Structure formats: structure tokens, C-alpha cells
Amino acid sequence: MLQVEDLGGAWELRADPEGAGATPPEQSRALAGTTVPASVPGCVHVDLLNDGRLVDPFRDDNELAVAWVGRTDWRYDRDVAWTGPPHERVDLVFEGLDTVAAIELGGAALGSTRNMHRGYRYDVSALLDGTARPLTVRFTSAYTEAERVRDLLGPRPNAYPEPFNFIRKMACAFGWDWGPTLVTAGIWRPVRLEGWSTARLATVRPLATYDGTGTLDITVGVERTRECDLRARVLLDGRRIAVLDLPGGVTAAHAEVAVGDVTPWHPRGYGEPARYELTVELLDGDRVLDRWQRHTGFRTVTIDRSADAVGHRFVVHVNGEPVLVKGVNWIPDDVFPSRMTRERYERRLREAAGAGVNLVRVWGGGIYEDRAFYEVCDELGLMVWQDFPFACACYPEEEPLFSEVVAEARENVLRLAAHPSLITWCGNNENLWLRDPCGWPEQPGGQSSWGETYYLRTLPDIVAELDPSRPYQAGSPWSGSWDHAPNDPDHQTFHSWDVWNRRDYTHYRDSAPRFVAEFGWQAPPAWTTLRDAVSDEPLLPDSPGVLHHQKAEDGNGKLARGLAPHFGAPASTEAWHYLTQLNQVRAVRTGVEHWRAHWPHTGGTILWQLNDLWPVTSWAAIDGAGRYKPLYFALRDLYAPRALTVQPRDGGPVVAVLNDHRDPWTGTLVIERRGTGGALLAAAAEPVRVAPRSVAVLPVPAAVARFGDPAAELLVVRLDDARALWFAVEDLDFTYDDPGLTVDVDAVAGGLDVRVHAVALARDVLLQPDRIHPRAVVDRGFVTLLPGESVVFHVRAPLDLAPGLVKAPWVLTDLSSVRRG
């Protein structure tokens, strides 16, 4: 039986004076001869931080002070020995090396690497005899390698002034419009010794599909030390469903197995995400040589990209049923991804599920995530859209990059095949789109190879060969062919960034794209997250530390211009923080409700973005410290199975009844026009029946929609427990009287219950729990109360909280108070 010895844990780290890089920075020369304790899996920055040799790169502008780390060559050392029983073969296995490495064992060179996105295996049988041998991994600066390849192949344009497109490394390590430039190195995934004899399982590719019954298309690849007859036994939940013969010398076997009656895997909101334990055992006679085990699920995925009268659809179908996509874009949850744990993946993904999300797009400037990420998505019923790691750049198609792209793609397509949550492969992020609008063909290197071959030939061929069970997309956005502009809203996928960059968010309503794969609006992180990261005194929206944690081009200018037509200029930094958070919610709500009202013409939305990887002003719903912005709570409403929205149309406002539920929605729709003090001015009621998974649009009766004083009236729409509000004028023109809020606080086990009651209209009441205690959380974001209504904010913390803390400035506020100064 194959045996494993884990080589994780304690290693030694040194700056490498013999590295291949240029003259090392002064800071790394000062480390000459110094040994730093290292932990594997890990990375250089984290090891230096843990040893007290780096300032916190997330604080103020310390990112700049630690830039030397990325320009330095490093080495990791430890002694290794095979202490298990004798085997015909012992392999040294690295699941991930970041990125440019040379490996030596006992002074013998084993090989070199230049790709973070793949694993490496070396036969070390002749080098390990029970005696400890020194193992050294030397890392050349990623800058050195990227600049070498750039000099070799010539320049290629990209969206950022860093050479990330010349090396197969996580692109956003070089900085992004929401991330710092922290170019690290290290043994970032597990490393081990594997001892085996006769044969081992080299690959297992299970493609589990469902068409009324389950089918398992399985391919098993083996590596041998000898020619003999072998078998691969396949078990599903412990039941043998197939035996694959591997006669002497044969290294692969394939079977298509009719599994019969199985419960299919469904995405969230469409059924249970049923999973089965799949086991493959490699047998020599009755002796088990190796065992592979995963959970998988049976489902069939297609994407309807057919033509219609408008253009080309983009509707995801799972098990034959169209699915309204309620998605979020996922970036690496840590700029140092070696710090990610299963627990952290599970926490963040459960948060996504808790917000009503049913799809997570793994964005192309990051990584192929850890197995734990996909296993949690399998369990939760979260669909995964997986980009190949290409983003916002022209990528050379020549060597030494081409073969690396092929190797990483083949490895990861096979590695992730068992996961039912993975529903589509996507060739890149924005590369097909940005080439012409950014003028890349006219820039130096712009006429050279730029990646089109990867996206339109190489990657689809690999997916067609290794994973025909999942649809492939050439890019996001992509209209389907060069017959239409890549970001044409009428054809397949669309990225909506013109609004954030140039226009007010009300312009989201100007079109109904077929599928919105990216859109978003910025806001700063939670107050405590911002204060922990920025030491500016006074703290101002444009103080140096705040601006350093704003990476978007003219980001704060766009925030200010976004506020102006709705709220005017904030009176203080605290007001700016509150209003920009509110404007983020208003903007995203405007887009999602408008597009969702056009289902199935618009097949879904994928918010940019769920998460952050450091404390920053960004489009995220969960900030870099893991704190919820109000947007997180708004998603629960926007992505709820049943919801109401009032939409402006040429003939007057309409009510869209959104029913993403397997059952019809029946009841009486009540539409009222009320004054801010609660007076009922007009009303209408209508019985409705909205079919499952559909939208009904009903006009607001003219008598109700005819506002007498738009500055002091609003529409209130109700159906069962769902409610929508509509204001005919902007906040600048609306009359905000004192809502007469009263607040009662009860100390309860685990925190505080804060009951807020309104005498008059109280719009956008917000409780910010981190202003009570850094570890406090709350269960809701902005809440609007009609006259006479109450709400309870449940504040929880890992320690006792004094009720009086709720009265501290800006803990509890509302829009009227902020507007009135």
C-alpha cells in the first residue's frame, strides 16, 4: 500500500546569496547568514512576519517598505529521510511551489519549476537510504523570471505596470485595483514523500452525470515499476460498481458505468446537493496497492447560448432546469494563499450561501483553489464557475510559457473533475474584451501573440478531451464569436463597468444584458478595519493612508461623484463612511433588481465581489478583516427566492414580482402611497399568481402612482412577508423629518438586543457593531422603518457588552440624522 511521510512543518529560511537574481536589495543583504524559522506550507512574507523581521504590510503604506522581499532570492532547507518500510519507489511530491524554484536533495539537482499552478514529483529512491539528507528549495525572485521572459519574448501590454503576464503565478500578487503588490515565494502547498511498489494511481478522472439515472465516466491512470496484471475496483458508497482491467504494461483504463437510480446533485434553491463517496482501489491480486477517495455528485450542466430575436442567450441549466444565477466573484481570500485553511474556506463560503448566493466565480487573476474550497461548494450546493488563470493582459503563446499553460490546465482539469459544484470552465478574465478598447494592438508588443490561441483553441481542446461533461467559455465577457464585440450586452456574458467608472448607478437600468458576469460599486471597509489599517490623524477620506488603501484609479473621486446626485457632499469622515456604504447598497440594489426583473432574458448576475484579501476600499461585501459591510446583508434580500421591486418604466412605475421558487407565488399584492408620517393617501390591491421560477410585472395604478408631494410621499408594496419601497425623488430633494427613534437595549446571553422604534419614517437605520467592540457582529444592515414600526438588531460578541455602548457616536444612526448633520 502506498505510504506517505508529510514533510510539512518546521523548515529553515534564508536569503539566498547564490540565487540567480540580480544584485539583492540592501534589506536582504542584511539578512546574509541569518536563519529564519519557516513553516511549510507557507511563504516568505509570513515567515518573516512571524519572526518579527517585517512590518505589517497591511498597515499604512508598509506595503512599500516590504517590496524588497519580492526582489530577493530565497532558500528553504530541512533534512529528510525515508523512515517507512522499504519500497521499490520513493517520490518527493510538491503540490505547489511559488514559483521559480530549483530543488536539490543531498546535493543532487532534482529539477526546476516555473509555475505556481501545478505540482511536481521527483523519483528520489536512489537518494534516500534511511539516512537523513539535506533538502534545499531555492526560489528565484518572480520579478527576475518574469523580466527574463519579457526580455526573451518582447513586451506585451497589460492593465497594470507589473510583469505578471510573463510568469505562471497568481497575477494579483503583483497588485490590482483592490490589492497590494506583495510578490512572495515559498512552498505554498503540502510537500511529502510517497513510498510505493508495483504501481500507484497517477490519475483518476470521474465524470458523473445525470439524465434520469446516473452515469459515471471514469478513467484511471497508473504509474508502474513492473509489468503485471492489475485491476482498478470502483466503489460508490461502498458498493462495487465496476472493475477496470489493467493488463501488464497498460497504464490507463476507461469505463462508462450505468449507476442506475441515484439522487442528483442540485444547486442551492433547486434541490439537495446529494453526494456519494467514490473510491478507486488499485489491486494486485487481492492486495490493495493504492486508494483514491472523494465525494462526487451526479448532475448534468448545459448553458443555453442559442440565438433569439435580440441576440444570444446565456442561461445555465442544471439537470435540465434553467437556473437563475445569483452569484459573487471570488478573489483569493488572502494575498498569501498559503494561509488559507479549510475552516476559513468553509466560513467564507457559508457566508456566501447565507447571503442567498448560488454561484461563485473563481476569478482569473487568482489561483485554482485548494481542494477544500470545491468540497465545501459541493456540500453547500454552490455552483463554481472556474476561470483559467489569465486576466487583464496580453499573454505570450511561445515557450517557455506555452507548455506550462498546457501542463497546468491538464493537471487542474483532472484534479477538479470529481466536484459536482464545478459547472463551467472559462478561458480568461477580460483579455478578449480589453485588447481593442485599451488600444493594446497599438502598444509595444501588441501585435505579437497575445493569448487568443489559448482561449479559442488550446484550452477548449483540453476541456473537450479531459472534461466533456462541463461547458467551456472562451472568456468573460465573451459574445460567442468575433462577429460581435466581446462585451456586447445582447450576446452572452457582459461586464458592466462603464457605470461605475463614468456614470451614475441609475444607468444600470439603461439595458438588460443577457448575463451580467461582473458589476459592482465601491465602499470603504468597516470602520474598525479602516482604523486598524490606517493611522492617519485626522482620518479623512483623502488622507494619505486612506488613499493608499484605495487602489482603484481615481477611486475616491468616483465615490464622491457617485454620492453627489443622491446625497451631496458628506459633512464629516464618519458621514462619508456611512453614505458611501449606503450608496454601495443602493447601486447594487438598482442593478440586481432591474436585471432580475428581466429573467430569463437576463440569465443572472455575478456581483464584483464577495471578499477582499487585505483592508481596502473596494467593491467587496465582506472586507479584508472578514467584517460584513452592509452590502452583505442587502444581498440576502436581493438574492432571496421571493422578492418585490418597483421599477421605473416609460408608462410609469411597475411592480416586478420575483419568484425563484419551485412553487407558484399566490396572494394579494397591496400597493399603497403613504406620507412620511404614515398617512394612507391611496391604495390598490390585486390578486396575483406568479408561476414557479418566473417574474410577473404589474403596473402601479395611476391613482396610486400620482404623487401629490413627491418630497414627502412613498410607495409601499406588499405580498405576504415581502415588501418594497419606492421614492419618486432623490434623497437631496426628499424631506427627512426627525423620525422620533427610541432605542431600548437588553443584555442577553452572548451580546445585546437593540430594539429601535420609529414614530415617523426612518430610512436606512444602521447599527455598526465593530464600533461597540472589534469582535462584535450584528444580524442585519440598513433597515427602513415605516411610522410605528420596530426592528431588533441582534448584536453578538465573545464577551459581555455594556448596554450603554450602543449610545456611542455613530454606533446607531439613520439617514435623516446624517442628512440633518
Residues 352, 382 contacting (CB under 8 angstroms): yes
Q: Average the pLDDT over 104-125 and give the result.
A: 97
Closest by CA to 613, choosing from 334, 328, 329, is 334
CATH of domain 198-296: 2.60.40.10
By CB atoms closer than 10 A (0-12, 13-18, 19+), residue 794 is: middle
Question: Any bridge partners for residue 99, and if so which?
Answer: none
Task: Collect all residues with Cβ–Cβ distance below 8 Å to 310 and sequence separation of at least 6.
Answer: 490, 514, 601
Closest by CA to 394, choosing from 363, 367, 433, 361, is 433
Percent of the chain with pLDDT over 70: 99
What is the band of 32 on the pLDDT scale with cuts at 50, 70, 90? confident
Count Cβ atoms below 10 Å from residue 388 Cβ, excluding itself: 27
- The CATH class that applies to domain 643-733 reads mainly beta
Q: Quote the DSSP letter at residue 380.
A: H
The CATH superfamily holding the domain 3-193 is Galactose-binding domain-like (2.60.120.260)
Count Cβ atoms below 10 Å from residue 712 Cβ, excluding itself: 18
Closest by CA to 220, choosing from 207, 239, 237, 238, is 207
What is the band of 374 on the pLDDT scale with cuts at 50, 70, 90? very high
Helices assigned H by DSSP within 396-502: 402-415, 431-434, 452-453, 459-466, 498-502
Residues 414, 466 contacting (CB under 8 angstroms): yes
Closest by CA to 329, choosing from 601, 516, 558, is 516
What cell does 403 get? 507548455
Helices assigned H by DSSP within 214-359: 342-354
Amino acid at 647: Q
What cell does 102 get? 530549483
Which helix (H) or strand (E) segment holds residue 689: the answer is: strand 680-690
Helix, strand, or coil (residue 541) = coil
Looking at every residue in the chain, the average pLDDT score rounds to: 97
Task: Judge whether residue 19 has pLDDT over 80.
Answer: no
Q: Quote the DSSP letter at residue 435.
A: T
CA dihedral (388, 393, 397, 403) positive or negative? negative
Task: Judge whether residue 569 has pLDDT over 80.
Answer: yes
The pLDDT tens digits for 130-145 are 889 999 999 999 999 9
Q: What angle do CA 212, 215, 218 make, to 5 degrees?
A: 165
The pLDDT tens digits for 489-526 are 999 999 999 999 999 999 999 999 999 999 999 999 99
Q: Regarding the domain delimited by 742-819, which CATH topology (the fold level of the hierarchy) does it fall under?
A: Immunoglobulin-like (2.60.40)
The reply to whether omega before 742 is within 30° of 0 (cis) is no
Residues 495, 433 contacting (CB under 8 angstroms): yes
The pLDDT tens digits for 401-446 are 999 999 999 999 999 999 999 999 999 999 999 999 999 999 999 9
pLDDT score, position 820: 84
Task: Collect all residues with Cβ–Cβ distance below 8 Å to 611 and sequence separation of at least 6.
Answer: 330, 331, 333, 348, 620, 621, 622
Location of C-alpha cell 426612518: 762
Strands (E), 197-251: 199-210, 214-224, 230-236, 239-246
Q: Average the pLDDT over 322-333 and give the result.
A: 98
pLDDT score, position 23: 67
What is the band of 781 on the pLDDT scale with cuts at 50, 70, 90? very high
What is the band of 26 on the pLDDT scale with cuts at 50, 70, 90? confident
Task: Judge whether residue 20 has pLDDT over 70.
Answer: no
Q: In the chain, where are the structural domains located?
A: 3-193, 198-296, 643-733, 742-819
Integer angstrom CA distances of residue 214 from 254, 256, 261, 627: 17, 11, 6, 41
Helices (H) and strands (E) in the chain, counts: 18, 44
What is the band of 21 on the pLDDT scale with cuts at 50, 70, 90? low
- How far apart are alpha carbons 664 and 642 in whole angstroms? 10
Question: Any bridge partners for residue 518, and if so which?
Answer: 495
Which helix (H) or strand (E) segment holds residue 109: the answer is: strand 108-114
Helix, strand, or coil (residue 40) = strand
Closest by CA to 77, choosing from 18, 118, 123, 36, is 36
Strand order of the β-sheet with 214-224 is 199-210, 214-224, 252-260
643-733 and 742-819: identical CATH topology: yes
Q: What 3 state SS string does 350-368 have?
A: HHHHHCCCCEEEECCCCCC
Q: Average the pLDDT over 18-37 and give the result.
A: 78
The pLDDT tens digits for 273-299 are 999 999 999 999 999 999 999 999 999
What is the band of 29 on the pLDDT scale with cuts at 50, 70, 90? confident
